[in-house]
Copies of this chain bind each other. A is one copy, B any other.
Amino acid sequence: MYPDSVQKIIDIFSKFPTVGPRTAARFAFYLIKMPSAEFEEFLDALDGLKKTVKLCSSCFNPSKEDLCPICQDKSRDQSLLCVVEKEADLASIENTKKYKGLYFILGGVISLRKNNKEIRIEELKEKIKNANFQEIIIATNPTPEGESTALFLERELKPFNIKLTRLGRGLPVGGELEYADPDTLESALEARK
């Protein structure tokens, strides 16, 4: 129905998170109608993104350098590690300005249907092995998948004999960490047990 080159871009956008074929088609039409100068700016920004940003080798947050500013910051509490599902969760916690430890981004959750290898469990163990953490906060989302992931992490990290905590249940059950307001997140950080 659509020209090949339109169908091609619809197929690619359909794989983007939260995007289905209809939204992907809207994106294609939006791009076709986008003024050339703006389109060039978009291509440049994509190129710039891929050329200048990689994942921090220690926490996996997007970073311009091998180590992100948080991992480089020696004034942060090197004995405290916070494990989150994804980048946006790290950003939400940083936004409270109340957490001064380090982070680790799992890159997903344990799903019964999917392969567990999709989360960075080996990289997490490696990081813990090479550091001296006194406490690890398992800050997965209070969703069914987040809960299974937390249980999985508790089991996998038990041999390290490090205090494992969870975020306090100031968070509404069934909600998403990414959408919590800073105050709720702050209470959750303080009420961790």
Contact = CB atoms under 8 A, between A and B. Distances in A.
Interface of A: 1-3, 5-6, 8-9, 12, 16-18, 22-23, 25-33, 36, 39, 41-43, 45-50, 52-55, 62-64, 86-88, 91, 94-95, 107, 178-179
A191 B3 CA distance: 31
B64 A3 contact: yes
Nearest to A34: B50
A5 B48 contact: yes
B9 A45 contact: yes
Contacts of A178: 22
Interface of A is mostly: helix
B5 A31 contact: no
A56 to B, nearest CB: 11
Given A6-B49, A52-B5, A95-B1, A16 B43 contact: no
A126 B55 CA distance: 54
A123 B85 CA distance: 50
Contacts of A31: 46, 49-50
A18 B22 CA distance: 11
A25 B86 CA distance: 11
B91 A29 contact: no
B49 A32 contact: yes
Contact of A26 (B43, B47, B52, B88): B88
A49 B22 contact: no
Contact of A62 (B6, B12, B63, B88): B6
Contact of A39 (B39, B48, B50, B88): B50
Contacts of A33: 55, 107
Contact of A25 (B36, B63, B88): B88
Contacts of A53: 3, 5-6, 32
